[in-house]
Amino acid sequence: MQARPVHRFSFAERAIHWLAALSFLYAALSGLALWSHHLYWLATVLGGGVVTRWGHPWGGIVFALLVGAMFLIWARQMRLDSDDRTWLRHAKKYAVHDEAGLPAAGRFNGGQKMLFWGQVVLTLLLLASGVVLWFPEWMPRNFRLAAILIHPIVAAGSIGMIILHIYMGTAAVPGSFRAMIRGWVTPGWATSHHPKWYREISKN
């Protein structure tokens, strides 16, 4: 039996999410091209070293703007409540699919909220340090010395979080990729992953 689809993400939410994903992919690949000589072939694929150096900061700016857009549409829904805190304390159980004692998640669970806030903070740091690296000729030496250390550390943390996010959004939680592509989920999916949210939207 085909269950009635439950609307989960609006077109605007999906568009912002995927534009952010694309710009992040470009920023990450063009940044990683400079991360190590062994990855410099990425620069060749992306149009050569000069193009990569020119394009990366712009890709980063576009990404930062889209994170700003996500902040505007999602920040209120991403506030952690006491259930989320309990959820986070037992995140290990979630990871091994032993969810019996976990508090019911709202539209976003504690892990998703932490990913959101984490990326907001890391993006601000990437933006600040990235702008310093962008214009070395105008920046005081101490700023440059700090940025050259901070930018790649934060970038690595951010890429690490996104690896986890991609895994969760594709293989680990079937149904969530379709939610972000087509915008809907099944009632079963909503009940098992975000019961508090499903209860709320079914009320109206």
Q: Is 95 in the site for other proteins (CB under 8 A)?
A: yes
How many residues of this chain interact with other proteins, rule: CB under 8 A? 46
Q: Around 153, how many Cα atoms within 13 Å sit in the side-chain half-sphere?
A: 7
Q: Is 34 in the site for other proteins (CB under 8 A)?
A: yes
Name the minimum Å distance from CB 36 to ligand HEM: 8
In the complex with other proteins, which residue's Cβ is closer, 35 or 71?
Answer: 35
Q: Is 201 in the site for other proteins (CB under 8 A)?
A: no
CA distance 62 to 121: 16
Q: Which of residues 117-156 bind ligand HEM (CB under 6 A)?
A: 126-127, 130-131, 133-134, 151-152, 155
Q: Which of residues 14-53 bind ligand HEM (CB under 6 A)?
A: 24, 27-28, 30-32, 34-35, 52-53
Cβ atoms within 10 Å, residue 82: 8
Q: Is 36 exposed, middle or buried (0-12, 13-18, 19+ CB in 10 A)?
A: exposed
| Residues β-bridged to residue 184 | 7
Name the minimum Å distance from CB 166 to ligand HEM: 13
Name the minimum Å distance from CB 147 to ligand HEM: 8
Nearest by Cα to 27 from 171, 133, 185: 133
Mark the segment that binds other proteins (CB under 8 A) among 13-21, 59-67, 107-115, 186-194.
186-194
- Burial code (b: 16+ CB inside 10 Å, e: under 16) for 143-165 equals bbeebeebbbebbebbbeebeeb
Q: Is 202 in the site for other proteins (CB under 8 A)?
A: no
Q: Residue written as tokens 């439950």?
A: 6
Which of helix, strand or coil describes residue 92?
helix
* Alpha-helical regions (H) of the chain: 11-35, 41-45, 49-74, 82-89, 91-95, 110-134, 141-167, 176-182, 187-193, 195-203
Q: Is 56 in the site for ligand HEM (CB under 6 A)?
A: yes
Q: Which of 52, 112, 123, 129 binds other proteins (CB under 8 A)?
A: 52
Binding site for other proteins (CB under 8 A): 3, 33-37, 40, 43, 49-50, 52-53, 95-97, 133, 136-137, 141, 144-146, 148-149, 152-153, 156-157, 159-160, 163-164, 167, 171-175, 186-193
Binding site for ligand HEM (CB under 6 A): 24, 27-28, 30-32, 34-35, 52-53, 56-57, 60-61, 63-64, 126-127, 130-131, 133-134, 151-152, 155, 158-159
